[in-house]
């Protein structure tokens, strides 16, 4: 699920990230477990490098510009899909009484899509079991003007996309040793008011925008 849209089913999602000073870089990937878990043109696999730099403005405020380079290795370009897009973003992180509030703006330069998002995060310590509840919430909206690939098609009308989404989630890390944690979580997300429109034709409902609950199980190794 991505911004209220279903881009795949049950999946394996490896990632690696590293930090040096204020810099953070990483690569995240999604590979559907079976053919029935694939959504055409989306992940088979999807591999996304990303990076960011954090400016500390005060004890409670940071500014974080960054980027994500989305790549869809086998997306059929002749069916209107892109093999890659590039999305710069900027976030303002404000922490007060243990709650982190993050307004964020994204702009995909290939899809010509602006996304506005607001995140909230809060951690409840569970010292008796050496864990914690990590609570997250997200609301967002997007407005795109070039979401279908028409490269090589003369005078092809552009396809626009609009919609909104929200997400609520909880996760718990369990320490296995000094370098290894088991992560389990559950989230629910839903897309709404999602439409697609090609040229002057009537707008249509974006059928990929749905509501789904999903569980995650992960192993995190730090070195």
Res. 97 pLDDT band, cuts 50 70 90: very high
Provide the Cα torsion 5, 7, 12, 15; round to 10°.
-70
Mean pLDDT of 83-89: 97
Lowest mean pLDDT among 44-58, 145-159, 161-175: 145-159
Does pLDDT of 154 surpass 80?
no
DSSP strands (E only) in 54-98: 55-56, 61-72, 84-96
Does pLDDT of 153 surpass 90?
no
| pLDDT at 133 (0 to 100) | 94
Residues 91, 64 contacting (CB under 8 angstroms) = yes
Cα 32 to Cα 46: distance, rounded to the nearest angstrom: 9
| pLDDT at 152 (0 to 100) | 77
| pLDDT at 40 (0 to 100) | 84
Q: Quote the percentage of the chain above a pLDDT of 90.
A: 89
Report helix, strand or coil for 181. Answer: strand
- Estimate to the nearest angstrom the gap between the alpha carbon of 82 and the chain centroid: 17
Mean pLDDT of 73-97: 95
- Whole-angstrom CA distances from 4 to 17, 38, 139 are 25, 17, 10
Summarised one tens digit per residue, pLDDT across range 202-216 is: 999 999 999 999 999
User: How high is the mean pLDDT of the chain?
Assistant: 95
């Amino acid at each position: 699920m991505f911004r209220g849209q279903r881009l795949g089913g049950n999946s394996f999602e490896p990632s690696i990230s590293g930090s040096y000073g204020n810099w953070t870089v990483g690569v995240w990937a999604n590979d559907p477990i079976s053919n029935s878990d694939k959504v055409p043109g989306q992940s088979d696999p999807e591999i996304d490098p990303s990076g960011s730099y954090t400016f500390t403005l005060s004890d409670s405020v940071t500014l974080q510009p960054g980027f994500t380079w989305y790549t869809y290795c086998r997306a059929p370009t002749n069916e209107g899909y892109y093999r890659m897009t590039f999305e710069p973003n900027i976030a303002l992180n404000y922490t007060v009484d243990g709650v982190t509030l993050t307004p964020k703006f994204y702009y995909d330069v290939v899809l010509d899509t602006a996304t506005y998002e607001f995140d909230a995060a809060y951690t409840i310590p569970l010292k008796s079991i050496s864990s914690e509840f990590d609570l997250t919430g997200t609301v967002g909206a997007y407005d795109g003007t070039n979401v279908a690939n028409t490269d090589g098609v003369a005078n092809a009308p552009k396809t626009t996309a609009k919609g909104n989404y929200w997400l609520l989630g909880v996760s718990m890390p369990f320490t296995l040793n000094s370098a290894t944690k088991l992560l389990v979580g559950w989230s629910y997300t839903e897309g709404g008011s999602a439409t697609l429109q090609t040229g002057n034709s009537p707008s249509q409902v974006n059928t990929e925008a749905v509501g789904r609950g999903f569980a995650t199980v992960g192993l995190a190794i730090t070195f």
